[in-house]
Each structure stands twice: as structure tokens, then as C-alpha cells.
């Protein structure tokens, strides 16, 4: 989770926790608020979402379906 603490960043974080909880996957959600670190992912707008080092979205709040499909496929990739 990349963001400076704006309202949308908090909403994205809450949504991600919700989806992770529903899918019952063991996931660690980390919030990055340092701009140097945020910029190392090359995004131009916050909130950004990074799953296993890969930028998934920036500048918007993805919907639940998108989130859960990203998380599920990331989990499948990990297990493979």
C-alpha cells in the first residue's frame, strides 16, 4: 500500500484488509508513507497498490473483484 495518508489511501487499506480477510489468505499488509520509497515504484498518483513487489494500481481505488483476483493469482504464483 503506497500513500501519504489521504482519505483514499485509508479506504484502499481498509478494503484490502477486508478482501484478505474474506479470502483467508495469509498476507501481510504494509503501508508505505515515505515518498522516496513510494517513488521507487514509479507511480504518479496515490494511493498505489503493490502486491509481491508488483504495482497493481495507482491513483484509484480498485473494486473488490479486481482486488480479490489479484490476490488470488499472486497466491497461486507463490505456491507454484
Residue of 58, 67, 70, 71 that binds other proteins (CB under 8 A): 58
Q: Catalytic residue at 6? A: yes
CB count within 10 Å of CB 12 equals 24
Can you give the three-state secondary structure of 10-76, one letter per residue? HHHHHHHHHHHHHHCCCCCCCCECCHHHHHCCCCCCCCEEEECCEEEEECCCCCHHHHHHHHHHHHH
Shortest reach from residue 64's CB to other proteins, in Å? 13
Residues 34-53 interacting with other proteins (rule: CB under 8 A): 35-36, 38-46
Binding window for other proteins (CB under 8 A); candidates: 14-22, 24-32, 33-41, 68-76? 33-41
* Residues of the shown chain interacting with other proteins in the complex, contacts defined by CB under 8 A: 3-4, 6-9, 35-36, 38-46, 55, 57-59
Amino acid at each position: 500500500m503506497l500513500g501519504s495518508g489521504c482519505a483514499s489511501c485509508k479506504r484502499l487499506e481498509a478494503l484490502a484488509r477486508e478482501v484478505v480477510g474474506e479470502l483467508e489468505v495469509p498476507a501481510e499488509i504494509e503501508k508505505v508513507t515515505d515518498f522516496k520509497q513510494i517513488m521507487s515504484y514509479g507511480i504518479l498518483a496515490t494511493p498505489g497498490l503493490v502486491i509481491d513487489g508488483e504495482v497493481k494500481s495507482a491513483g484509484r481505488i480498485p473494486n473488490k473483484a479486481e482486488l480479490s483476483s489479484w490476490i488470488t493469482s499472486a497466491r497461486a504464483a507463490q505456491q507454484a
